[in-house]
Amino acid sequence: MKRILTIICAIALSASAYSQVKETATGTSVDGVLEIDKLVHDFGDVVTGSGPLQCEFKVKNLTQKPMAIYNVSASCGCTDVEWTREPIQPGKTGVIRVEYANSDGPYPFDKNVTAYFSSSKKPVVLKLRGVAHEKVVPVGERYPVHLGQLGLRETEIKAGNITQGSQKSDLFMVANLGKTPMKLSFTDVSAGLEIFAPDQIVAAGETAKVRYIVTADRSRWGKSWYHATPVVNGVKQKPIDIWSFTKEDFSDWTAEQRSKAAQPVFETNTFNFGTVRQGSRVEAEFKCKNNGKSNFKVYKVDSDWDAVKVEPVKDIAPGKSGSYKIIVDTSGMPEGEAMVIITMTTNTPNRPLVNLFIGGAIKK
């Protein structure tokens, strides 16, 4: 059973806590007041104990007055930070330098560094990423998904959270598993996705970074999939999938707008279907009243179990009640305790996401 527990954890922190970003030709614009050359630095594959890893992020002041980097904090003690202390003049660039100790052991690492700027009310999160190994591992093992001579770590790539009106830029690593140089490009790219192949030819046994940009589109909500087909030395390969979780942007809403928003109140967010035989259809109903001053709208309903059917979701007017009926086909579910998680993406700032839980026991 596919689970989206990781999605729920990832989106628990509201995107409104952070700045809005837009991609430019030279980096990422943050709230239109500063530009960072990148938001993610991927070290790729490294060997534990080979020494600290360093990188830097360049910050350009886009305003007409001096800008200061107030503070930069790391998510753990394994990361040290330094930054330009003097004010950055208009049009000029400062630097945030980061050093990762690389001494914690062999595992994939993903560290956050949070930067605060005088020109932006919200912090910017920078990421350090990579995979540490005890010893040098053959490239074919480090990139277990083989599409011809193209090697990937996975074919489903998580882009993370995005709010409407913004973009999300990230990258992933690829490898040349062949014995000859590899030219990589992409075709059949989904609307809302831009993907940039490495500028250089990738030598045999070497790795490269592929950058992509997801742009929010109001036709897409919740868990949304984007696709691109790699072309290796002129030959199309199996498509890769990139997904993001898109929700409404409430960061600029005024107190008055919030006071007039919908306010959904569910009688319960759990439904216990008891014990059923494998293959049974479970019908769950969740009742909701809208105590707000605007219609309550559900943009998208996602589930961590594929065999789920949701009856058409209607808006609930202020002061009115409604219900959401969900049918779960338990075919294919393993015996024992089972839990299906339903995630609703909504139009209310108080509950931009509503999680509903359908659980019980399955027997043959």
Residue 152 has pLDDT above 90, yes or no: yes
User: What is the CB-side half-sphere exposure of residue 295 using CA atoms within 13 A?
Assistant: 7
Mean pLDDT of the chain: 90
pLDDT of residue 49: 80
Those residues with Cβ within 8 angstroms of residue 145's Cβ, 6 or more apart along the chain or in another chain: 151, 152, 153, 154, 155
Per residue in 280-334, pLDDT (tens digit) is 999 999 999 999 999 999 999 999 999 999 988 899 999 999 999 999 999 989 9
Q: How many whole angstroms separate alpha carbon 253 and alpha carbon 249?
A: 9
The one-letter code for the residue type at 108 is P
Per residue in 65-89, pLDDT (tens digit) is 999 999 999 988 899 999 999 999 9
Mean pLDDT, residues 246-252: 92
Mean pLDDT, residues 152-167: 91
pLDDT of residue 19: 61
Q: Is residue 48 classed exposed, middle or buried when 0-12, 13-18 and 19+ CB atoms within 10 A define those classes?
A: middle
pTM for the complete prediction? 0.82
Residue 13 has pLDDT above 50, yes or no: no
User: What is the CB-side half-sphere exposure of residue 96 using CA atoms within 13 A?
Assistant: 30
What confidence tier does 237 reach under pLDDT thresholds 50, 70, 90?
very high
Residue 2 has pLDDT above 60, yes or no: no
Q: State percent of the chain over pLDDT 90.
A: 79
pLDDT of residue 16: 41
DSSP, residue by residue, 287-325: EEEE-SSS-B-EEEEEESSSSEEEPPPPPB-TT-EEEEE
Query: Hey, what long-range contacts does 70-76 have (CB within 8 A, 24 or more apart)?
Result: 70/116, 70/117, 70/118, 71/115, 71/116, 72/96, 72/113, 72/114, 72/115, 72/116, 73/113, 73/114, 74/98, 74/111, 74/112, 74/113, 75/111, 75/112, 75/113, 75/114, 76/111
Mean pLDDT, residues 229-255: 95
On whether the CB atoms of residues 127 and 40 are closer than 8 A, the answer is: yes
Residue 12 has pLDDT above 80, yes or no: no
Per residue in 42-56, pLDDT (tens digit) is 999 999 888 999 999
pLDDT of residue 251: 86
pLDDT of residue 242: 97
What confidence tier does 120 reach under pLDDT thresholds 50, 70, 90?
confident
Residue 33 has pLDDT above 60, yes or no: yes
H or E stretch at 9? helix 5-10
Look up tokens 């989206």; give the residue: 4
Residue 10 has pLDDT above 50, yes or no: no
pLDDT of residue 206: 94
Those residues with Cβ within 8 angstroms of residue 339's Cβ, 6 or more apart along the chain or in another chain: 357, 358, 359
pLDDT of residue 1: 43
Q: How many whole angstroms separate alpha carbon 269 and alpha carbon 290?
A: 15
pLDDT of residue 106: 87
